[in-house]
Structure 1
Amino acid sequence: SCSSEKVKRVTSPSRGICEWLLTILSLFFIILTFPVSVWFCMKIVREYERAIVFRLGRLLPGRPRGPGLFFFLPCLDTYHKVDRRLKTLEIPFHEVVTKDMVTMEIDAVCYYRMENASLLLTSVANLSSTVQLLVQTTMKRLLAHRSFSEILLERKSIGQEMKVSPCGGGQLWGRSSGSVNHVRLPAELQQSLAVEAEAQRQAKVIAAEGEKAASESLKMAAEILASSPAAVQLHYLHMLQCLSAEKPSTILLPFINGKGVLCNQNKKIVSE
C-alpha cells in the first residue's frame, strides 16, 4: 500500500562506517559500566504510547517501540513518544456554500487517532492544525453537494461520510471522523427567512379567516334556502341558465320524492 511504501522510504536509511563504529563503541562502553549503565538505557512506554527512536538523527528501522521496556543508546539515540489515544478537536466556525448557493457558517467536532506513529512524526509538524484544515476541506467538499435543508436533516449521514471519505495524506498516518455541531446563517439571510416565515403564517391566518367567513355565509344561505322552498327552485333555475350558457353536454336534474319532478305549490314546472 501507499502507507507501507512511505514507511519503507522513511525508515530504511543506509548506515555509514562512522555510525557503525560509534554504535560499537557505545555498546562496549555500556558493557564496561554494567550494571550502572543499564539504568540509563531502559525506558518504559505505556500501553497507549509508542516510542520513535532516532540514531544520529536518522529514524531506526522497524516498528515503533512499546508498550513496555525498550533499549536505546543514551549517547547516540533520542526518542519521542506518540500518544495513540483518541483525541478530540473542535473545528471553529467557517463559511460553507451549499448546493442551492446558501452561504452559512458551521462548526464541527473531529475525533482522530494515530495509526502510523513513525510516519506521523517524520511528516507532520503541527498535528492539530493539519487535522483542522483537513476536516474543513472535507466538509466543504461534502456540503457543496447538499442543499441547506439536507444539511439540517442529515447531520448523522454527513458525519459517516466524513469518516469513510478519503482525506488525502491524512489516511496515511491516522484515522479521523467528524460531525456537524451548529449551523449559523448570516444576519441578512436570517432576516429574509424570518420575513418569509411571517408571510407564510399571515397567509395561513388569512386563509383560515376566509374559510370561516365563507362557512358562515354558506350557513346563512342554507338557512334561507331551507326556510323558503321557492328560493331553492329559483336557485335551481339560475343554475340551469348558467349551464345552458356554457353549452354543457350533460344536465343533471335533482330527484324529489323519487320522481323527476320539481313542484312549486302543486304546479308542475319541470317534468321528465
Structure 2
Amino acid sequence: MTILHSLLSNPSRKKNKDPSSQTEATSSASHWVEVEDTRLGTTYKPSHVYRHQSMRFKGNDRNDFFANEPMTGNLGISGYILMVCSYILLALTFPIAICFCVKVVKEYERAVIFRLGRLLPGGARGPGIFIVIPCIDTYRKVDLRVLSFDVPPQEILSRDAVTVAVDVVVYFRISNATISVTNVEDSSRSTKIISTNNFEEYTCDREQISLQMQSTLDEITSPWGVKVERVEMKDVRLPVQLQRAMAAEAEATREAGAKIIAAEGEQKASKALSEAALIVSQSPVALQLRFLQTLSTISAEKNRTIIFPLPMEIVRHFIKRNRYYRQNK
C-alpha cells in the first residue's frame, strides 16, 4: 500500500485540554488519508485512519471503510442545494414522481444506493421495495445467487518443468453486496489462479488441487465480499509435441518392462528345468515314467505316424552286436 496524500482537518476545531479526552482531541485534529491498495486496484477513503497509525492490513483483518459507516464527509453547499431542489421537484410532481422513486429488487438481489456519489447508511436494500430520489441517488443491483466464471485456458509451468493448459471453472457468490460494490470494480473478474504442482498431481489428484485453489481464492476474495463455493478443473491438456514425446517415453518404458519380465520368466524356467533334469538323472525310473507320459500325450493327438524312441540299454546292445559282427568278418 502507498499513501497518496493527506488533508488537514478543519482548523476551526479547538483542542481539548482535558487529559481525560486527550485521545478524542488528538483524533479530531489529526489527518485523514487516502490509501491505495495496489493489489486490488482500489482507492479507500477511511474517515478514522490517521497519519500516526499503521496503514498495513493483512488479509481478512483489513477493515471495510464503507459497509458500516454513514456518508463520509459533508455534501457541501451544492449538495444540499441539489437535495432541496430534488425534494421540491418531488413535491410538485408527486403523483408522477412516485413511479420514478419506487424500485423493487427480487429475493436473490440487493441494491446498494449512492447519494451524490456517497454510500447511504444502512447497507444494501432488499429484497422488496425501496425508495430513491431521482437526480441525486443512484443504485446498483447485486445478484446473490451462485455464479459461474469460466477461466480461459491458462498455460502453467508445473514444478517438474511441464507446460500444461488448465481449464478451470470457478463457482462463487456475493456474500456482502456493499463490500463487493465499494471495494472492487468488478468482483466477477478479479480472480487469479496460481499453482505449484507437478504434472502427475494435475492428472491424478485434481480434487485436492481444486480444494487448494478454492481455499486460496476464498482468502483473496474475502475482502471483496465474494465467497468462492467451488473450483473445478475441467481439463488438463499438453502441447502436441510434448504429448508425442511422453507417449514415446511411456512406450519405451513399457517395452523395457516387458523385456525384464520375459528375462525373469526364462531365468525361472531354466532353473526349474535344471532342477528337473537333476532329479531325473538321479532316478532311472523317473525317466521311464516320463517316457510313458510322453507316449500317452502323443497318442492322444491325431497323428498317423508315431515314433517310439528306444531306451538306451537296447540301443547299446545293438551297437555291441554290430561291432562284434564287423570284427569277425
TM surpasses 0.5: yes
Partner AA of 1:56 in structure 2: L
Give the match for residue 120 of structure 1: 180
Q: Does 1:196 align with 2:256?
A: no
Give the match for residue 258 of structure 2: 205
**TM-aligned CA distance change 1:203 to 1:70, over 3 Å:** same
Kindly state the Cα deviation for residue 45 of structure 1 after the two structures are TM-superposed.
Answer: 0.8
Deviations 1:8-53 (A, max 9, x none): 6895242112322332332233234434432321111111111122
Match of 1:147 among 184, 198, 209: 198
Give the match for residue 243 of structure 1: none
Contact kept in structure 1, 2:64 and 2:179, CA below 8 Å? no
Give the match for residue 109 of structure 2: 49
Give the match for residue 175 of structure 1: 227
Deviations 1:193-240 (A, max 9, x none): 222221221122212322333344334323322222299xxxxxxxxx
Aligned with 2:148: secondary structure?
Answer: strand
Q: Does 1:222 align with 2:222?
A: no
Contact kept in structure 2, 1:45 and 1:67, CA below 8 Å? yes
Q: Does 1:159 align with 2:210?
A: yes
Aligned residues between the structures: 222
Q: Which has the larger radius of gyration?
A: 2
Kindly state the Cα deviation for residue 183 of structure 1 after the two structures are TM-superposed.
Answer: 1.4
Deviations 1:118-160 (A, max 9, x none): 3433454444432xxx233xxx2xx21x332223333222222
Distance in 1 between residues matched to 2:120 and 2:218, nearest whole Å: 28
**TM-aligned CA distance change 1:13 to 1:50, over 3 Å:** farther
Alignment gaps of 5+ in structure 1 = 232-272
Q: Which has the higher contact order (CA 8 A, sep 6+)?
A: 1
Alignment gaps of 5+ in structure 2 = 1-60, 285-329
- Deviation larger for 71-80 or 158-167: 158-167
Q: Does 1:135 align with 2:192?
A: yes
**TM-aligned CA distance change 1:226 to 1:105, over 3 Å:** same
- Deviation larger for 85-94 or 167-176: 167-176
Contact kept in structure 2, 1:49 and 1:83, CA below 8 Å? yes
Partner AA of 2:201 in structure 1: E
Q: Does 1:89 align with 2:146?
A: no
Partner AA of 2:135 in structure 1: C
Kindly state the Cα deviation for residue 2 of structure 1 after the two structures are TM-superposed.
Answer: 2.0
TM-score, normalised relative to structure 1: 0.70
**TM-aligned CA distance change 1:108 to 1:10, over 3 Å:** farther
Aligned with 1:228: secondary structure?
Answer: helix
Contact kept in structure 2, 1:13 and 1:59, CA below 8 Å? no
Contact kept in structure 1, 2:171 and 2:231, CA below 8 Å? yes
**TM-aligned CA distance change 1:160 to 1:13, over 3 Å:** farther
Contact kept in structure 1, 2:157 and 2:164, CA below 8 Å? yes
Match of 1:110 among 163, 170, 174: 170
Aligned with 2:251: secondary structure?
Answer: helix
Aligned with 2:192: secondary structure?
Answer: helix
**TM-aligned CA distance change 1:159 to 1:227, over 3 Å:** closer
TM-score, normalised relative to structure 2: 0.59
**TM-aligned CA distance change 1:224 to 1:115, over 3 Å:** closer
Partner AA of 1:24 in structure 2: V
